[in-house]
A = this chain, B = another copy of it.
């Protein structure tokens, strides 16, 4: 849209519809990962996500089945981020006339596999024609106490659940024009797992459920660790500090191996990587669930910082910005 960033338009949406939060049944409106509604005695989490071809995905390196799987997990990941359990989904496909039926079928198959894996049945939907392919997935979940991105408090630990950076490494590998011809079997396997992480991410529903009663805040890492940490910091009006040594310590072996082949710093991939759909949460040290890795802390202030060797560098938009 001409002359305005998406963020400004989301702000426009918030201004236009935000006042409706006053409605008794709407507990959380526009701005979090999903809306929270009070219906009967239950809290429902509700989210919608659209993937447009050539904007959010390209079929150069993805099969249509991958597109179905990936878009479905991406949508359900918003439910995971709030500690919710998926109930059901609606799927809405817009597809061009030129798209072969076999491709539509493959896409639907990918969605069906994802729906089964996540125990989130597709109960309705719509097929329309249009000039470009887009997949809109709406998911309903439930959670008695949904986790919000706005709940982080000074003194909280910063937790990572799931791996981060692999999907980015996989994508980087696929997009490299000249690939090294000689890589050993171990590196090949690592690269393969990175590509798979990008093609077939998994929404961390079990992790979200485990975090629900323990964490103060959570967000799923879809845009990148540093970008999503910034969203969490902003919503919580707090500062998020990532400790470089701790983050390095929890990077997966596959990421370290793949980044060496790619000639990129694994830490950079971890900070910029997003499409793995790992969860970032904050909470009191005593409540940290087993297996959630501490990678930093929350303090008073604003923004996201990387702490390394006693120095603090402010992180912006996924990269480094020397500051403070």
Contact = CB atoms under 8 A, between A and B. Distances in A.
B127 A13 contact: yes
A40 B40 contact: yes
A123 B138 CA distance: 13
Interface in A1-27: 1-4, 6, 9-10, 12-13, 16-17, 20-21, 23, 25-26
Nearest to A122: B17
Contacts of A127: 6, 9-10, 13
Greatest chain B CB density within 10 A among A91, A100, A132, A138 is at: A138
A101 B132 contact: no
A59 interface: no
Contact of A46 (B2, B108, B115, B124): B124
A96 B90 CA distance: 24
B26 A121 contact: yes
Interface in A81-101: 87-88, 90-92, 94-101
Nearest to A37: B88
B50 A124 contact: no
Given A17-B122, A123-B30, A46 B88 contact: yes
A273 B65 CA distance: 39
Interface residues of A, number: 73
Contacts of A37: 87-88, 123, 140
Given A16-B108, A39-B142, A94 B50 contact: yes
Nearest to A34: B124
Interface string A101-143: 1001100110110010000011111111111101010101010
B40 A124 contact: no
Contacts of A109: 16
A48 B12 contact: no
A321 interface: no
A29 interface: yes
Contacts of A134: 94, 128, 130, 134
25 contacts: A1-B96, A2-B97, A2-B100, A12-B104, A13-B127, A17-B91, A17-B115, A17-B123, A17-B125, A20-B123, A25-B87, A26-B88, A26-B123, A35-B88, A37-B88, A37-B123, A39-B44, A40-B42, A46-B90, A46-B124, A48-B90, A52-B129, A130-B134, A132-B132, A140-B140
